[in-house]
Chains A and B, each alone.
Chain A
Amino acid sequence: MEAVHFDNVRYSYREEGGEYAVNGVTLTVREGEFVAVLGRNGSGKSTLAKLINALLEPTSGTVTVFGMDTLDEKKTFEIRKNAGMVFQNPDNQTVASIVEDDVAFGPENIGLPREEIGKRIDFALKAVGMEQFRHATPSRLSGGQKQRIAIAGVLAILPKIMILDESTAMLDPKGRREVMEVVRRLNKEQGMTVILITHFMEEALQADRAIVMHNGEVVMDGAPEEIFARSEELESYNLTLPRAAYICKKLQEAGMSVGNAFTAEELAEEICGSLQKG
């Protein structure tokens, strides 16, 4: 089933139009898919994310979420219930000073009864592995933990789509790993549709599909391995290869017979194989 559909969508931050941040995007995300959206800062990828849950309304074209048009104000609430969003800055998303109160915020907004909210908190904190921090203060947690709480806050609404708008950009490697681990599990175990906006190429490798945006347009769309194999094209959009893929390419250029590799493990495998043959 189609989870998200963009039909020739344009968006401009200026009233009078012109300078489209998203410029003629047509795109379909199916339910259960894990899509990474790559692109330089200012390529329009965050705008794309905000168009999905009606934080922004398209200047032209239509965005639908499970068939609901984001321009239809009566559907806004329902769309946001279905498409949860986690943002970039871990400090700017929590409303309460205690973890459980913050996770309760979404369920409270959709008017759930008390007992149900309690269950949702249990479920959401468990899903992100933060049960033991239920009564903690978010401001004392690490960046990765704060983002996991933000994810829990979204999960408690039980959305079908999770949008992460550069949610790993401000984290240290450990925090990034924690968040990616949670996201991958949600996708694999609960069939959550994930749209991950990022500029860490390595993270895109965990997705089923990668989309590259450039000047507001979708310029590449395919499996991450496929995208990274087209390295010249990628570089023309000012993106770099994952480091392992870069080394692999250098080896290939020097005439070594190694297959494409994207992670350190794959690279080691390829080098081993090649050395044994040689």
Chain B
Amino acid sequence: MRIVAKGLKYVYNPKSPFASTALDGVDIEIKEGEFFGIIGHTGSGKSTFVQHLNALLKVSEGYLKIGEYDLAEKKCNFLELRSKVGMVFQYPEYQLFAETVEKDVAFGLKNFRKELNEEETRAAVKEALETVGLDWNAVKDASPFELSGGQKRRVAIAGVIVTKPEILILDEPAAGLDPLGKKELMELLHSIHGGWCKTIVIVSHDMDEIAENCTRAAVFSAGKVVMEGKPSEIFSRADELLSLGLDIPVTAKCARILQSRGIKIGTDFTCDDFVKQVLALRGKGGERDDE
């Protein structure tokens, strides 16, 4: 399913002294199969935008279509849409509520697919928990509140992917995790991407994370999409990003300094590609264009 938004607008508390425009005409297209990154600092409208994708906020002005679902249409089957577009909120562990991990993960499945029987539900829950790297026998009867922070987050993610959504949206999925936890989470996302989960959209502040993982990305600022493209394209416009108060990946920062010294280096910003490029330069003794 493809996500297409045109002229999407949203105002919080309209017609009150506290009215604030969160989206001011968003145009964006996210194709099936992408691992898409959404960048922007707090208040740029990115969270408001992703909440539209799940129909948690209704389209008030503009056009938004996901596959065949027209979200501006009142008759749109939002429940069905939500089963196909999974949404993992920031700090999702704070939504856990059931007595056992199994019951919590089953919550979404029971809401979306009432036709499943006990065994089918259990099998799906087991699969989801194993997908997120938890030991079924060890956690199924445990209280979600007794688990460690990292485990809680995995349970919460399992609770969303249990319906095998075609599109998975994650708002700051790695926030608050330690470095290894972050790395493992990204590996988890890559492991499901391309299977039943065709498209992944992550909202992230961490530019290194975007550079390492995403196929394409968009930069939000003041309720609009101000840049859209491959990470290498976006991060090669470092000055613009910095002027928006955003960071750039370490690799881009380094490449920028090298370029300013006249060393030609490409703008592919994953760590491994950057290393390759530097090593390739070495052979040529650091190509310089002296002016």
Residues in A lying within 8 Å of B, measured CB to CB: 40-42, 142-143, 169-170, 172-175, 199, 201, 238-240, 242-244, 246-247, 250-251, 254, 256, 264-265, 267-269, 271-272, 274-276, 278
Contact = CB atoms under 8 A, between A and B. Distances in A.
Interface centre among B149, B206, B258 (most CB of A within 10 A): B258
In the A-B complex, the 8 residue pairs with the closest CB atoms = A275-B286, A268-B257, A264-B253, A240-B179, A199-B178, A243-B250, A172-B205, A264-B254
A84 to B, nearest CB: 23
A123 B275 CA distance: 47
Interface string B47-62: 0000000000000000
Interface string B95-118: 000000000000000000000000
A268 B254 contact: yes
Contact of A174 (B41, B179, B254, B285): B41
Contacts of B274: 247
18 contacts: A40-B180, A41-B178, A173-B206, A173-B207, A173-B246, A174-B42, A239-B180, A243-B251, A247-B251, A250-B271, A251-B278, A256-B282, A264-B250, A264-B254, A267-B254, A268-B253, A272-B258, A278-B285
Contact of A244 (B247, B254, B258): B254
Nearest to A235: B180
Interface in B204-234: 205-208
Contacts of B285: 275, 278
B38 to A, nearest CB: 13
B231 to A, nearest CB: 15
A199 B176 CA distance: 9
Contact of A40 (B178, B206, B246, B257): B178
Contacts, number: 101
Nearest to A258: B278
Contacts of A271: 254, 258, 263, 278
B279 A240 contact: no
B271 A272 contact: no
Nearest to B249: A243
A201 B179 contact: yes
Interface in B231-270: 245-247, 249-251, 253-254, 257-258, 261, 263
Contacts of A247: 250-251, 254, 271, 274-275
Given A247-B275, A256-B278, 13 more contacts: A40-B181, A172-B42, A172-B205, A175-B42, A239-B180, A240-B180, A240-B183, A243-B250, A243-B251, A247-B251, A268-B257, A271-B278, A272-B263
Interface of B: 41-43, 148-150, 175-181, 183, 205-208, 245-247, 249-251, 253-254, 257-258, 261, 263, 271-272, 274-275, 278-279, 281-282, 285-286
Nearest to B258: A268
Contacts of A256: 278-279, 282
Contacts of B43: 142
B275 A254 contact: yes
A256 B258 CA distance: 16
Contact of A41 (B177, B206, B246): B177
Nearest to B272: A250
Contact of B179 (A170, A199, A264, A275): A199
B42 A143 contact: yes
A42 B281 CA distance: 43
A167 B206 CA distance: 17
A206 to B, nearest CB: 16
Contacts of A174: 41-42, 245
Nearest to B275: A250
A243 B208 contact: yes
B181 A41 contact: yes
Nearest to A173: B247
B279 to A, nearest CB: 5
Interface centre among A173, A254, A271 (most CB of B within 10 A): A271
A183 B274 CA distance: 33
Contacts of A173: 205-207, 246-247
B42 A142 contact: yes
Contacts of B149: 41-42
Contacts of A274: 282
A254 B279 contact: yes
